[in-house]
Every structure is written in C-alpha cells, then in structure tokens.
C-alpha cells in the first residue's frame, strides 16, 4: 500500500469521526437537550457533554489537517487551490480552519467563558445560538465533503 493510500485512509477516517460527531451533536443531542432540559439547564448540560466530545473533535481535526496537508504536498495539489473546478479543496481548507480556530483558540481562550456568561443572562437564546452555529458548521462541512467526493471522482460544478 502506498503512502498516499495510507494518508488518504487516515484522512477519511478522521473526517468521518469528526464530522460524524458534529452531525450527531447537531441533529440528535441538541434537539434532545432542548426537549429534556429547562432553558437554564440546557447550556450547562450541553457544555458537559460537548467538553467530552471536544477532545475527539480536536484530535480528529488535527489528524485530518496533518493528513490533508501531507496529501496536498505529496500529490503536489497546491496549484489547484483557488481554481474554480477544485473549489472543494478551498472548502475543505476553510472548514478545517474554522473548526481548528474554534477548537484550539477561540473556545479555550474566550468563547467558553463568553457563552457561560451569556447563558446566565439569557439561557434560552444562548442555546438557540449554539444550535444555529452547529447547523451552520454542519452544513458547511457537508458541502465540503460532498464537493470533495464528487470532485475527486470527476464531477465538476465550475470549470
């Protein structure tokens, strides 16, 4: 098996665990928390659950980034960034950058504290904001995944 095949398998596995986790949180956990908990309890309960998932998300996004950059280097794909036919490369990088900034910088440095303070003042609207943010991130992620799978199999939307 070539190093490219191994890197690609690692990359896809990391994406499945990372984006699959985001999908589970967005489509199952958040709606369940909304139904089962009072507005004041929602953010605290969600925070407790997501803290456990954050380590999986950090690890898998890091693995996805390392393997993705290795694939770009090894397959000499750098020139394809910015080309309309390969928009999905830019989309994958954008999604990865957003998550990486959120998971490694924004959340630990200020976002967690900001959400906690906001939840004390307005728990219902804070939970709504969390839910909307997760939907936006999931939709962006699914567009990037769809584009990447279609793109590497020859389907182009832009030439």
Compute the radius of gyration of the chain from its Cα atoms.
Answer: 18
Mean residue pLDDT of the chain comes to 91
pLDDT for residue 133 is more than 70: yes
- Please check whether residue 158 lies inside any domain of the structure: no
pLDDT digits (tens, 9 = 90+) for 11-43: 999 999 999 999 999 999 989 888 877 877 887
* Between 49 and 83, the higher pLDDT residue: 83
Cβ pair 95, 61 in contact under 8 A:
no
Average pLDDT over residues 68-82: 95
Structural domain span for residue 74: 3-152
Average pLDDT over residues 127-134: 92
- Please check whether residue 116 lies inside any domain of the structure: yes
pLDDT for residue 153 is more than 90: no
**What is the predicted pLDDT for the residue at 159?**
65
- Please check whether residue 159 lies inside any domain of the structure: no
- Please check whether residue 157 lies inside any domain of the structure: no
Q: Residue 50 — pLDDT band, cuts 50, 70, 90?
A: confident
Average pLDDT over residues 54-64: 94
Distance of CA 133 to the CA centre of its chain: 11
- Please check whether residue 143 lies inside any domain of the structure: yes
- Please check whether residue 40 lies inside any domain of the structure: yes
DSSP single-letter state for residue 76 = T
Counted residue by residue, the chain has a size of 159
Cβ pair 135, 26 in contact under 8 A:
yes
CA dihedral 89, 93, 95, 98 (to 10 degrees): -160
Q: Residue 132 — pLDDT band, cuts 50, 70, 90?
A: very high
- Please check whether residue 47 lies inside any domain of the structure: yes
Task: State both tokens at 14.
Answer: 């990391």
Q: Residue 52 — pLDDT band, cuts 50, 70, 90?
A: confident
Number of folded domains in the chain? Answer: 1
pLDDT for residue 115 is more than 80: yes
- Please check whether residue 48 lies inside any domain of the structure: yes
């Amino acid at each position: 098996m070539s190093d490219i095949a191994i890197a690609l398998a690692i990359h896809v596995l990391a994406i499945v665990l990372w984006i699959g986790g985001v999908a589970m949180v967005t489509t199952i956990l958040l709606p369940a928390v909304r139904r089962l908990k009072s507005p004041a309890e929602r953010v605290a309960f969600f925070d407790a659950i997501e803290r456990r998932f954050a380590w999986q998300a950090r690890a898998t996004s890091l693995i996805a980034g390392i393997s993705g950059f290795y694939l770009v280097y090894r397959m000499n794909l750098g020139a394809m960034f910015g080309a309309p036919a390969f928009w999905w490369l830019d989309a994958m990088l954008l999604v990865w950058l957003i998550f990486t900034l959120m998971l490694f910088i924004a959340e630990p440095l200020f976002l967690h504290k900001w959400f906690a303070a906001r939840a004390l003042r307005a728990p219902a609207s804070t939970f709504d904001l969390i839910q909307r943010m997760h939907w936006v991130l999931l939709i962006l992620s699914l567009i990037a995944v769809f584009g990447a799978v279609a793109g590497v199999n020859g389907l182009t939307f832009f030439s």
